[in-house]
């Protein structure tokens, strides 16, 4: 399902906002197909949402006049301090006024207060921060990275630092461009154990190329750097560019896609249970040789800290039966419906059994003769791709469980419509307005998946008066599982405008949710989740000329879920069976 370029649109948007190089826009084109289905939101044969309640009610930190992705693309910008109750750090970018630079902030949450400050004492345009907590020498201070034009040379560097109260933290810029003119930004941090021993951490830095290739398409090569540190100060020492992960020929890995027009949508994960195990997982678009399929899901796995890698490729999910007799744009009934992917702001993590999860926004449709992706606009679901090792994978719908099905009691066709993304105006911006994030508790096999959902908005746009109050009110949805995703619940409608837990949601526009990657075990089956999100002041992001330039509120909260209340009887014999192989 290769797509045509939207480069003209991209340039208009980026130049109009004077933010060239700040967005990772794909070279693809989506064509929505309006589905003539109304008032059919049927919750059939699903697992009810679990019990939950707020621990920290939503608290506004500041107004930001940059109402887009305050925590980055595929990040977990909240990190929990181990062993401390309700104490964590998180990072975000924000503009304190319509004229000030976008700055990177560090927030500290304690049991009694939330405080935040800019990380630097100088005033550059900064953004897309990432954070990690090393475990060396009883350390409780975070490492942080972001991108900015540090030395005013026209290229964004990625400054890296560590938290310190006084004096001001040292800032070390990892340079750009490289010898080929690549400009690597949008940095992500990951911490693993180190091959040097128990008193070291390996810090991984992943950066994506923001330049375009000679064809004018996106060129998102990925650079992976690393450093083994024993003390925090070592992250601000030179040497990062000398420690680049390479292949067996000594060439940088994941940096040869640019001129092949290959677009990887990826995430990275560290297995906390297996020393040296890391993974690079995602979906490949525009592939040519040596990729065997037109599009494919892939996993690169390393068991030796990135010294060697094994590639596993899986093609696409199998097509499904066209029970609704849906038609293409020419009015022809489709023989079957292809299963595709339409959203790429995703996270990856290993579960308690060592399986690798990658969440994404899925879709249903067909590929036309020009290799464009045509999707049915009422069937956009929260999904995950799960890799069990070797060639064993599953593509799962998290919510709804299926797009449509036959009622075994009546024989009726049941429809499960969904818009699992924030429906800001503009189909071309569906890429930007979706987020899927997951968190895990390894010991208990708990997981959650979180996104900003526009299903009720979609029904309101359809003219269903039941949902008119939701026309400009997305809801943050939280689905939960207590068996590593084998059974997912109906979502908790966390920020519903009719919330009994927090009535103020009626006046909020809740978008761009971010969560800590760890669910904290509180005992008695309860797990705590830390979250921040943007409460936009107007419906539509001003960054893409869709909304008023009046900002939004950076908002923090935490809540707990009773995983014991999930009504699933886990069959231990069934759990031990080999998962279905879907290739």
Per residue in 427-438, pLDDT (tens digit) is: 556 778 888 999
pLDDT given at position 534: 98
**CB neighbours (10 Å) of residue 20?**
12
Taking a C-beta distance cutoff of 8 angstroms, is the pair 304, 291 a contact? no
Ramachandran assignment for 239, one of left (phi > 0), alpha (psi -120 to 50 degrees), beta (any other)? left
Q: Is 405 helix (H, G, I), strand (E, B) or coil?
A: strand
Lowest mean pLDDT among 40-44, 130-134, 302-306, 507-511: 40-44
Q: Is 408 helix (H, G, I), strand (E, B) or coil?
A: coil
Average pLDDT, integer, range 526-546: 94
The model's pTM: 0.92
pLDDT given at position 43: 54
Q: What percent of the chain has pLDDT over 70?
A: 88
Residue 240 makes CB contacts below 8 A (sequence gap 6+) with 160, 174, 205, 225, 227
pLDDT given at position 197: 94
CA torsion 208-210-214-216 (nearest 10°) is 120
Residue 341 makes CB contacts below 8 A (sequence gap 6+) with 265, 283, 360, 361, 362, 363, 383
pLDDT given at position 11: 27
- Distance (Å) of CA 382 to CA 56, 442, 518: 26, 22, 20
Average pLDDT, integer, range 324-351: 93
177: cis peptide before it, omega within 30°?
yes
**Radius of gyration for the alpha carbons in the chain, expressed in angstroms and rounded:** 23
Rounded to whole angstroms, the Cα distance separating 556 from 550 reads 20
């Amino acid at each position: 399902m290769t797509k045509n370029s939207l480069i003209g649109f991209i340039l208009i948007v980026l130049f109009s906002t004077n933010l060239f190089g700040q967005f990772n826009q794909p070279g693809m084109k989506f064509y929505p197909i309006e589905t003539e289905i109304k008032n059919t939101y049927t919750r059939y044969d699903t697992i009810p949402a679990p019990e939950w309640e707020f621990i920290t009610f939503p608290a506004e930190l500041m107004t930001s006049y940059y109402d887009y992705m305050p925590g980055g693309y595929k990040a977990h910008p909240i990190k929990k301090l181990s062993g401390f109750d309700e104490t964590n750090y998180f990072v975000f970018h924000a503009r304190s006024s319509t004229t000030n630079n976008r700055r990177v902030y560090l927030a500290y949450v304690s049991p009694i207060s939330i405080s935040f400050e800019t990380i630097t004492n100088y005033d550059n345009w900064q953004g897309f921060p990432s954070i990690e907590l090393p475990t060396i020498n009883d350390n409780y201070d975070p490492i942080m990275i972001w991108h900015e034009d540090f030395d005013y040379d026209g290229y964004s560097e990625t400054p890296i630092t560590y938290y310190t109260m006084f004096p001001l933290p040292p800032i070390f810029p990892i340079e750009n461009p490289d010898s080929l003119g690549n400009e690597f930004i949008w940095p992500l941090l990951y911490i693993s154990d180190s091959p040097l021993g128990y008193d070291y951490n390996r810090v991984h830095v992943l950066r994506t190329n923001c330049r375009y290739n000679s064809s004018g398409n996106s060129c998102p090569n990925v650079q992976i750097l690393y450093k083994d540190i024993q003390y925090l100060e070592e992250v601000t020492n030179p040497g990062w560019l000398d420690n680049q992960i390479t292949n067996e020929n000594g060439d940088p890995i994941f940096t040869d896609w640019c001129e092949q027009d290959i677009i990887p949508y990826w995430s990275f994960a560290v297995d906390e249970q297996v020393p040296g195990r890391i993974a690079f997982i995602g979906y490949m678009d525009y592939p040519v040789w040596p990729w065997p399929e037109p599009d494919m899901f892939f996993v690169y796995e390393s068991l030796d800290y990135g010294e060697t890698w094994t590639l596993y490729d899986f093609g696409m999910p199998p097509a499904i039966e066209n029970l609704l007799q849906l038609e293409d744009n020419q009015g022809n009934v489709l023989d079957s419906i292809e299963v595709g992917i339409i959203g790429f702001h995703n996270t990856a993590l290993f579960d308690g059994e060592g399986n690798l999860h990658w969440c994404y926004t899925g879709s249903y449709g067909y590929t036309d003769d020009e290799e464009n992706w045509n999707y049915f606009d009422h069937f956009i679901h929260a999904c995950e791709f799960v890799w069990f090792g070797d060639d064993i994978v599953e593509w799962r719908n998290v919510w709804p469980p299926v797009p449509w099905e036959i009622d075994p009691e009546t024989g009726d066709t049941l429809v499960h419509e969904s818009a699992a993304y924030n429906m800001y105006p503009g189909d071309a911006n569906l890429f930007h307005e979706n987020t899927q994030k997951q968190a895990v508790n390894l010991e208990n096999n708990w997981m959650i998946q979180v996104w900003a959902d526009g299903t009720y908005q979609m029904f309101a746009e359809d003219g269903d008066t039941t949902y008119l109050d939701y026309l400009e009110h997305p809801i943050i949805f939280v689905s939960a599982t207590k068996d590593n995703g084998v059974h997912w619940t109906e979502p908790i409608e966390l920020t519903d405008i009719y919330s009994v837990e927090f009535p103020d949601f009626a006046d909020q526009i809740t978008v761009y949710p971010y969560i800590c990657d760890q669910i904290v075990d509180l005992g008695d089956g309860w797990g705590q989740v830390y979250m921040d999100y943007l409460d936009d002041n107007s419906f539509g992001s001003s960054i893409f000329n869709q909304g008023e330039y009046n900002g939004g509120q950076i908002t923090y909260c935490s809540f707990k879920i009773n995983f014991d209340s999930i009504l699933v009887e886990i069959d231990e014999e069934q759990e031990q069976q080999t998962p279905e192989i879907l290739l």
